[in-house]
Amino acid sequence: MPVNSAKEEEEMEEIRRCPFCGGRGYVVTSKAKRKELYYTCVKCSICGSKGKTIFSDSDPEKEGAEEKQICIEAWNKRADA
Ligand SMILES: [Zn+2]
């Protein structure tokens, strides 16, 4: 099993603070129930507000998946506004 790459973390764009409460955002990925779909979104750890949600038919945890990156970018954009 490969050592969990700090490198990968560094390449991931930093998630900004929540625009509403200043809480920490984190990426949620899950498989939608009863559907062969996965979803990915950034969620605030304090107020629970969510950013853009992306649905995909492939596992967002897979190597090379772009879903997380897209969600983080969307979240960060909103934090700017
Ligand atoms: Zn919040």
Q: How far apart are CA 25 and CA 47, in angstroms?
A: 10
The alpha carbon of 20 and the centre of ligand 1 are apart by a number of angstroms equal to: 5
Q: 23 near 42, Cβ under 8 Å?
A: no
pTM: 0.76
pLDDT tens per residue, range 3-50: 555 555 555 678 999 999 999 999 999 987 777 899 999 999 999 999
Lowest pLDDT segment from 15-19, 51-55, 62-66: 62-66
DSSP state string for 30-60 = EEPTTSS-EEEEEEETTT--EEEEEEESS-T
CA of 35 to the centre of ligand 1 (A): 29
Burial class (CB in 10 A: 0-12, 13-18, 19+), 8: exposed
pLDDT at 1: 52
pLDDT at 49: 96
Tell how far the Cα of 3 is from the centroid of ligand 1, in angstroms.
Answer: 32
78 pLDDT tier (thresholds 50, 70, 90): confident
Give how far the C-alpha of residue 62 lies from the chain's centroid of Cα atoms, to the nearest Å: 13
